[in-house]
Chain A
């Protein structure tokens, strides 16, 4: 009997060594306990520009895309130093009107976004924008011309970036002015930085007084993007994005969280936005494999012209994993999702995401 007990004890002691990882990963867990499901949310895509190329137009025409997306924002409008918001030429207005009508036929609502960029598409210097915003005549002209622009679509979005914190009162004044002009006939949304603390942890994060803005806008779009800015890493950390959306929601009832469709290439000379196709092509041309980071986001570490690069992007797998983790227990059902950068995504992204909707 003693031997029996000894053998049994040794066998039991060795048992923990008999468990192991299969090396595989099974699908994520989501709402209502169904594996791999993505909770249904209000969806918006952002197009950087006034034009939808045929590829992106085809994506929006797909029924699977319509299951996830109901609204398109075209970052199309550009304020000038006078406060006049362009484009204002008749041909541009005709083209935008036709595009909006086309998207309406597919069932989308279309908002036009005012992004403070110059002709080359670069963001204005924040100090310059701040100086412009401080001028009452600038704000009034923006208000007047945005009202004109709003007739082309269903709503207006205001996308201000790189502002110093002391622009706070002027930002609020601008948004209030535009709100009084365009609402309630048209919708108004505002893009805000992804602050996770109060006062903001971000440079310029306190330029946006969310509590003051909440009553005068229809949606607050939290730009939970560009999580990794100086060192290579994922474009979004889904947990960090949740904290930013929660903080915004503590001030405003209608909040959207953002998810990037684009990638970012980190090199010694700075960062550069990229597409899924470019990322895959670089991996192929460089003869290096695609790895996955901790969030599941794919990345390519490659060398070009003697310089080391890391290119981080998202694909259907990493997107589904993040969206699946944003359960209704984590973020209430009224929090929408903004997909930023239509055209940069993996082909078939919305088909794959749609297949995981309830």
Chain B
């Protein structure tokens, strides 16, 4: 994953350096909201648990199994467009929270009976550089790109300690690679509204989720 990120970074840097002096380079800002569906990862406890029955160190894996999630949230992004055809996403941020009705997940924390509460899950993404292209025809534009990023999913659970239980926080981070596909309609010379889809090519595993939404872009 690190090699992939480095390779993409080198590729993007190379492209930027090679842009001719007279190239048409524009900065675009995007703000979007949407739905993300996918699979929750098995998180790790974020702190040690000093229970009446035992001590559990932090970073203890809590098995989640194959649990689907639906989250909604918003993201913002910053992109470069070069000659109106090449797109270089630079940096983005996203935040999402679980929506809907979820079953508790009966699991264990190092052998102690526990349950995870997927409905208390949140997700934060930092989207890093990538590369893609854009095709423009009159008021419409279509683009496709691949980019890297990092993500952290947080959730909450209870762990049993004799007749009582204690609440714990758990989280898991990952590098990610996502494709971004969008279809936009220009509103004026600098604003566009876009339908946005982002399959997660790697996100705690291969092809584990997708994000769909609308976004508003400012930039030529």
Contacts and interface: CB of A to CB of B under 8 A. Distances in A.
Interface stretch (B8-16, B108-116, B130-138, B144-152): B108-116
A296 interface: yes
A24 to B, nearest CB: 4
Contact of A330 (B33, B111, B115, B163): B111
B162 A19 contact: no
Interface of A: 8, 12, 15-16, 18-22, 24-30, 33, 35, 196, 227-228, 231-234, 237-243, 293-296, 321-322, 324-327, 329-331
A32 to B, nearest CB: 10
18 contacts: A8-B33, A18-B72, A18-B100, A21-B101, A24-B104, A25-B115, A29-B107, A30-B63, A232-B163, A237-B112, A238-B108, A239-B51, A293-B160, A295-B163, A296-B113, A324-B108, A325-B108, A327-B63
Q: Chain B: interface secondary structure? A: strand
Nearest to A4: B216
A8 B76 CA distance: 14
A15 B33 CA distance: 12
Contacts of A29: 42, 63-65, 105-108
A28 B108 contact: yes
A239 B73 CA distance: 37
Given A21-B101, A25-B105, A237-B112, 10 more contacts: A16-B97, A20-B102, A29-B42, A29-B106, A227-B162, A238-B113, A240-B54, A294-B162, A296-B113, A325-B111
Interface residues of B, number: 45
B158 A294 contact: yes
A237 to B, nearest CB: 5
Interface in B89-133: 97-115, 117, 119-120
B35 to A, nearest CB: 10
Contacts of B65: 26, 29, 33, 35
A26 B116 CA distance: 10
